[in-house]
């Protein structure tokens, strides 16, 4: 197992190099000049050229990439063009809201989706099963931003139970943080929950048709033990895979959700950087997101052996 983990960690190096190269080229070859945006609409060509020299944008692309890659090796993601602050500082300032939102979404989705999927598989082809699967299809089809606006209208505007937008840090109290993230977590977790519930049901149906499940029933094992101890554990590998892939997919969902609920996290930072064409921030965030996804995939692979002892690396 240790040798496998080391091999996988070394395999991430070429992946991250390719990601850095493509992100750098994609941003620098697309139309638009950040120097013109910084200089303003009334700037002269000479003033724009001065800004380009100050930012190093007048250098050849290959030289800019070497400077950028050397900074990455030293843990330097660059400096924001507009705020003149290090990208690592900006990420650290926005990290807590995103982590809290992602963790809350994951908790809501997993706690609700797995029991729904197990229950639907147990009651397969009944009215309960159709209701659960109908909810799954609807939750997966409806856009996250639409669910968010519906929740805001019901629970914030009509009932006035929860704040409309914004984020309260943990330093102001866990209860205040909970009130500020419950709506975005439910909105983002709806589609995620739908996917996990469908995969859980499909995987459970396959396992429940196995001979050892019928043997357990014949020996008088209770339904609860059959579902949880025998079936769910053996059906866990595809479920864990979907949960892990969904964690990586939360990145795109966080960008939309934080914009709808005005949460100052990494999603909002990404949108603001794209609108301003702030190259260092965009590059740094994509590198962080890509590295996170690679580590999540590694954790998924390692977890397989805990759920199925037959899997060996």
Nearest to 109 by CA among 136, 74, 83, 81: 136
Q: Determine the pLDDT at residue 40.
A: 67
Neighbours of 75 (CB within 10 A): 7
Distance CA 99, CA 278 (A): 23
Biggest CA–CA distance in the chain, Å, is 86
Residues 144, 157 contacting (CB under 8 angstroms) = no
Calpha distance 135→54 (Å, rounded): 55
Question: What are the helix (H) ranges across the chain?
Answer: 2-29, 34-39, 45-55, 61-73, 87-122, 127-141, 144-151, 174-208, 211-218, 223-225, 233-234, 236-260, 266-276, 279-307
Q: Which two tokens stand for residue 282?
A: 């965009």
Q: Each residue of 260-299: pLDDT tens digit?
A: 888 888 888 888 888 877 778 888 888 888 888 888 877 7
How does 127-144 read in b/e, with b if 16+ C-beta sit within 10 Å?
Answer: eebeebbebbeebeeeeb
pLDDT of residue 30 exceeding 70? no
Residues 6+ positions from 283 with CB-CB distance below 8 Å: 20, 23, 24, 27, 68, 77, 78
Judge whether 139 and 108 are in contact, CB under 8 Å: no
Could you tell me the pTM of the whole model? 0.78
User: Domains, the chain, ranges and CATH?
Assistant: 2-73 (no CATH), 94-307 (1.10.3720.10)
- pLDDT tens, residue by residue, 104-158: 888 888 888 888 888 888 888 888 888 888 887 787 778 888 888 888 888 888 8
């Amino acid at each position: 197992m240790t040798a496998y983990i080391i091999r996988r960690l070394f395999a991430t190096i070429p992946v991250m190099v390719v990601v850095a190269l493509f992100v750098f080229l994609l941003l620098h070859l697309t139309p638009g000049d950040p120097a013109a945006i910084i200089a303003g609409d009334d700037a002269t060509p000479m003033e724009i050229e001065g800004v380009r020299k100050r930012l190093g944008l007048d250098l050849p692309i290959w030289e800019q990439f070497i400077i950028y890659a050397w900074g990455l090796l030293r843990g330097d993601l660059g400096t924001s063009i507009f705020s003149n602050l290090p990208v690592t500082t900006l990420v650290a300032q926005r990290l807590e809201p995103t982590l809290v939102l992602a963790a809350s979404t994951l908790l809501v989705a997993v706690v609700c989706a797995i029991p729904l999927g197990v229950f639907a598989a147990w009651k397969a082809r009944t009215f309960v099963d159709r209701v659960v699967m109908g909810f799954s299809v609807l939750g997966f089809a409806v856009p996250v931003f639409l669910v968010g606006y519906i929740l805001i209208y019901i629970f914030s505007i009509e009932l006035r139970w929860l704040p409309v937008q914004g984020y309260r840090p943990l330093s102001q109290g866990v209860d205040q943080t909970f009130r500020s993230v419950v709506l975005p977590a439910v909105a983002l977790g709806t589609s995620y929950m739908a996917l996990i519930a469908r995969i859980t049901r499909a995987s459970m149906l396959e396992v429940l048709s196995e001979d050892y499940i019928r043997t357990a029933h014949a020996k008088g094992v209770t339904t609860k033990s059959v579902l949880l101890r025998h079936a769910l554990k053996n059906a866990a590998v595809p479920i864990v895979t979907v949960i892990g892939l969904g964690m990586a997919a939360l990145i795109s969902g966080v960008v939309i959700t934080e914009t709808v609920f005005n949460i100052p996290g990494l999603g909002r930072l990404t949108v603001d950087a794209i609108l301003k064409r702030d190259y260092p921030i965009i590059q740094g965030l994509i590198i962080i997101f890509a590295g996170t996804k690679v580590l999540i995939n590694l954790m998924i692979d390692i977890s397989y052996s805990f759920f199925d002892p037959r899997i060996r690396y």
